Copies of this chain bind each other. A is one copy, B any other.
Amino acid sequence: MIVLGDSQYGKAGVRLLRVCRDHDQAGGDAHRLRDLNVTIALSGDQAATHLSGDNSAVLTTDAQKNTVYAFAAEHGVDQIEDFALLLARHFVTSQPAISTARVSIDEYGWEPVGGTGHSFARSGREIRTAAVTHDDAGPAVTSGLRGLILLNTTGSEFWGFVRDRYTTLPETTDRILATEVNASWRHTAADVPWERSYLTARELLIDAFARTYSYSLQQTLFAMGRQVLEGLPELAEIHLSLPNKHHFDVDVSPFGLENSHEVFCPSDRPYGLIEGTLTVRGES
């Protein structure tokens, strides 16, 4: 017998720019921006539409999109965790057929420029993220970032690894270590000072990457995760996905030049990919 297992549906890629038209004390513009990409996934009792095309329990993905804009108008947008909490709760509490809502938000950064109070430039490559899953147990919140590219020009060794028939990699006591940090951390509460928490986590990730004398990217990963969990005791868990952005030392000796460990070829593909989760285990 063929049965419907897990299923979900929703709207992905809802782009929203929310402008807050504040003024400064002199009456000039002091506008603020939130620039988001919202994705919604709902699940629950959706058997009817799958089995017979009966849509009476389907909240359209178009209405989900509209809800994002309506909530932005009515409630404003400050921290993305709060906005995701609001949306996720709405879908679960207003739709009987929806038992779980997951709202994921990417936020793109902007910074004021030009001194006008209404002019901005996109800042940075990295994206701040939040995801709220709201089900019978209530909401669960994760925060994170992706696209933060870090590099150490020294302070990284790699040796003592397995040498099987297919191993040709030489050992090294000085290599470039670079990665693009993709991290998400799970909160134990839903009323955290989100911005401060985010900035702290980001700073701890960077600091641990920079200051860990590394014998493997795995070791650096663990150090980064530990430093975040230690610095933000409210957290329950952190997941890190760290592609190893290889930089090959170019051999310039064929050109009659001396290698001085200063000329590198960054390589995109293939790439090592190191992934790990660190968990806070309760002490009793």
B-side contacts of A169, CB under 8 Å: 60, 62-63
Do B121 and A265 touch across chains, with their CB atoms under 8 A apart? no
> Which of chain B's residues has its CB closest to A58's CB?
B161
CB of A118 closer than 8 Å to a CB of B: yes
- Quote the shortest CB–CB distance from A176 to chain B (angstroms): 7
Do A162 and B58 touch across chains, with their CB atoms under 8 A apart? yes
* 1/0 contact string of A150-176 vs chain B (CB within 8 Å): 111111011111101111110000001
B-side contacts of A61, CB under 8 Å: 244, 270, 272-273
Determine which of B52, B116, B266 lies in contact with A210 in the assembled complex, contact meaning CB atoms within 8 Å. B116
CB of A10 closer than 8 Å to a CB of B: yes
Do A19 and B262 touch across chains, with their CB atoms under 8 A apart? yes
Report Cα–Cα, A113/B229, bound state, in Å.
21
Do A17 and B176 touch across chains, with their CB atoms under 8 A apart? yes
Known: A119-B152, A148-B121, A277-B5. A17 touches B265 (CB 8 A): yes
B-side contacts of A86, CB under 8 Å: none
Do B11 and A270 touch across chains, with their CB atoms under 8 A apart? yes
Contact residues, A11-40 vs B (CB, 8 A): 11-21, 29, 31, 33, 35, 39
CB of A70 closer than 8 Å to a CB of B: yes
* 1/0 contact string of A231-272 vs chain B (CB within 8 Å): 000000100000110010010101111111111111111111
B-side contacts of A14, CB under 8 Å: 270
Contact residues, A81-129 vs B (CB, 8 A): 94-95, 110, 113-116, 118-125
Q: How large is the interface on A (under 10, 10 to 19, 20 to 34, 35 or more residues)?
A: 35 or more
Tell me which of A135-143, A188-196, A214-222 binds B: A214-222
Known: A216-B53, A264-B19, A270-B13. A119 touches B209 (CB 8 A): yes
- 10 interchain pairs (CB within 8 A)? A12-B269, A17-B247, A21-B154, A60-B161, A63-B166, A72-B263, A114-B206, A122-B125, A122-B151, A165-B255
- Please give the residue numbers on chain A whose beta carbons come within 8 Å of chain B beta carbons, in ascending order: 1-21, 29, 31, 33, 35, 39, 41, 46, 49-67, 69-70, 72-74, 94-95, 110, 113-116, 118-125, 148-155, 157-162, 164-169, 176, 206-207, 209-211, 214-216, 218-219, 221-222, 225-226, 229-230, 237, 243-244, 247, 250, 252, 254-281, 283
